[in-house]
Amino acid sequence: MITNSSDQCTRQRAPTSITMKPAAARSPWLALAIVLSLCLSLSFASWDAEDEGRGSRRWQEGGDEGRSGESGRPYHFGEESYREWAKSRHGHFKVLKRFDHELIRGSIGDYRVACLDAAPRAFLQPSHYDADEIAYVREGEGVVVLLRNGKRESLCVREGDVFVIPAGSIVYSANTHRSKWFRVVMLLNPVSTPGSFQEFFPIGYGGEQQPESFFSVFSDEVIRAAFNTRRREDVDRVFKRNSRGEGEISEASEEQIRELSRSCSRGGRGGGGGGGGGSGSEKEDIRPRSLTGEKPRYSNKHGRLHQITGDQCPHLRNLDLDVNLVNITRGSMTALRYTTRATKIVVVVEAGNDGNYFEMACPHLSSSGRSERRERGRSEEQGGQEEEKGHGGEQEKSRGYRQVRAEIKVGSVIVLPAGHPATFVAGNEGNLALLSFGVGANNDEEVFMTGGNSALKQLDEAAKALAFPQQVRELADKVIRAQTEAVFHDGPQQQRRAFFDM
Ligand SMILES: *[C@@H]1O[C@H](CO)[C@@H](O)[C@H](O)[C@H]1NC(C)=O
């Protein structure tokens, strides 16, 4: 059994120090950039005086200091935030570090993001997790076999599919393609320890780094009785440190792949055909669904939004999750929007090489941060402990917002908390496709603040008269209505070009 080493180290240290310590050693400027990018109020951050006057905050990515992957904290995670969970010649399984920053821990700290990359014909040995897995096939095709409820269910899955593996199911899977890799992005919902999960193997594998069989820890008397044998050695020879293959990710022959996929279906188990649509049979239904194959929920020439919600998939409803795929056309962007309840965990699954980024308004870093420090003169004794802020203490109103911004690429993870207005911009080199898991999705709604369906268009005349000064009333209407495209529209560069052409 593998222990989750990344868990252990993150738990022992303060969240900010993990990343800052090594970086600070390398370059004080880099450290400063990281500090500025934190959505925390740190007294030594230097603000742009002009911005401060308007009650808004902004930090500039300056040259190298603003390296992507280092910015946008704690809402952005780059490649360096993944840890290897299992690895062999035939593939690897990477897990993103915990969402343990105080600003996001409360909403999504219990969940983990992971990515599987399996080489052609790779085989993942049987095991079970103490976590539900919600998986999206980013590339390739495979067969996923679940042993649960006394049955065996084989699912054929392919690019664009979403499927759920309920916690505790014994699963084995294989890449069924001869030459393409099978790549899966998943969200894990641990059921025993929030934010931390384990994998359990009935069969152990050769090599020091390889998992052991959980049978091996039981006493001789228990094993003999449980297997109804007099010889513990027989049981050990079967399950313990099996030298077959190369461990938890090995390779199957073409014939074995054919055999594994022979009985696989896309139907899951419909529930015996007895009518009534009883929730019992629906619950059993684990068929994969194509996220991209169905009609998009919203689409124009600047992008498409695909969605699978609890309405289509009871498992997702039970988990209070949904899965979205936003595919933004190169050079376009999403209108400024926020969610009413859900926190979105966004994974970049497709992107051109350059020019992709997100921006978000973050209220947590406010002017109150500094005055708070001054007021609490006695806080000396607490040293530099920001731990306290943001939870526990008195609620403070933030009087300003900070811009959180980061360059993003394939594999980047972005967290958009409920209520925080945000946008994604696709560079000119390719489409930007974002897979997002909505946590707390069941009664969620997306609210647009710009574009054709902007909520601001609903303001009534009396409110407008009260909210806007007399002299800008007309202008306000014009500004609010100027962007006619909804949800997706021209990005900054396309828009600039359009204005020059006029
Ligand atoms: C995004 O859209 C483009 C253009 O239609 C398509 O080629 C690409 O496969 C889509 N990406 C995903 C992840 O669906």
- CA-327 nearest atom, ligand 1: 1
Q: Is the CB of 334 under 6 A from ligand 1?
A: no
Give the three-class secondary structure for 462. helix
Q: State residue 146's pLDDT score.
A: 95
Q: State residue 34's pLDDT score.
A: 43
Helix, strand, coil: what percent of the chain each, to 5?
30, 30, 40
Q: Is the CB of 431 under 6 A from ligand 1?
A: yes
Q: Is the CB of 422 under 6 A from ligand 1?
A: no
Residues 401, 411 contacting (CB under 8 angstroms): no
Return the closest-CA partner of residue 223 out of 242, 243, 199, 240: 240
Q: State residue 270's pLDDT score.
A: 38
For residue 355, report the distance from its CA to the centre of ligand 1, in Å: 18
Mutation test residue for ligand 1: of 324, 332, 350, the one with most atoms within 8 Å of CB: 350
Q: H or E segment at 39? A: none
For residue 335, report the distance from its CA to the centre of ligand 1, in Å: 19
Which backbone phi and psi does 282 adopt, to 5 degrees? -60, -40
One digit per residue, pLDDT tens: the chain, 502 residues? 343 433 333 333 333 333 333 333 445 444 444 444 444 433 333 333 333 333 333 333 333 333 333 478 899 999 999 999 998 899 999 999 999 999 999 999 999 999 999 999 999 999 999 999 999 999 999 999 999 999 999 999 999 999 999 999 999 999 999 999 999 999 999 999 999 999 999 998 766 677 889 999 999 999 999 999 999 999 998 998 666 556 789 999 999 999 999 888 776 443 333 333 344 445 566 789 999 988 999 999 999 999 999 998 999 999 999 999 999 999 999 999 999 999 999 999 999 999 999 999 998 654 444 434 434 443 333 443 444 444 445 667 777 898 999 999 999 999 999 999 999 999 999 999 999 999 999 999 999 999 999 999 999 999 999 999 999 999 999 999 999 999 999 999 888 777 766 5
Q: State residue 283's pLDDT score.
A: 54
Q: Is the CB of 349 under 6 A from ligand 1?
A: yes
- CA-160 nearest atom, ligand 1: 14
Q: Is the CB of 433 under 6 A from ligand 1?
A: yes
CA–CA distance from 147 to each of 170, 172, 183, 252 (Å)?
A: 5, 9, 22, 20
Q: State residue 363's pLDDT score.
A: 86
Mutation test residue for ligand 1: of 327, 328, 424, the one with most atoms within 8 Å of CB: 327
Q: Is the CB of 324 under 6 A from ligand 1?
A: no
Q: State residue 394's pLDDT score.
A: 64
Q: State residue 14's pLDDT score.
A: 35
Q: State residue 264's pLDDT score.
A: 84
Q: Whose Cα sits closest to atom 1 in ligand 1?
A: 327
Return the closest-CA partner of residue 156 out of 174, 183, 170, 171: 174
Cα first-last separation, the chain: 65
Q: Whose Cα sits closest to atom 7 in ligand 1?
A: 431
Q: State residue 395's pLDDT score.
A: 66
Q: State residue 106's pLDDT score.
A: 95
Return the closest-CA partner of residue 71 out of 355, 357, 435: 357
Q: Whose Cα sits closest to atom 13 in ligand 1?
A: 433
Dist CA 375 CA 362 (whole Å): 23
Q: Whose Cα sits closest to atom 6 in ligand 1?
A: 431
For residue 308, report the distance from its CA to the centre of ligand 1, in Å: 17
Q: State residue 267's pLDDT score.
A: 63
Q: State residue 101's pLDDT score.
A: 94
Q: State residue 364's pLDDT score.
A: 65
Q: Whose Cα sits closest to atom 2 in ligand 1?
A: 327
Q: Is the CB of 346 under 6 A from ligand 1?
A: no
Q: Is the CB of 327 under 6 A from ligand 1?
A: yes
Q: Whose Cα sits closest to atom 3 in ligand 1?
A: 431
- CA-350 nearest atom, ligand 1: 13
Dist CA 148 CA 387 (whole Å): 43
Q: Give residues with Cβ within 8 angstroms of 43, minimum separation 6.
A: 369, 370, 373
Return the closest-CA partner of residue 186 out of 117, 130, 120: 117
Dihedral over Cα of 233, 236, 241, 245: its sign:
positive
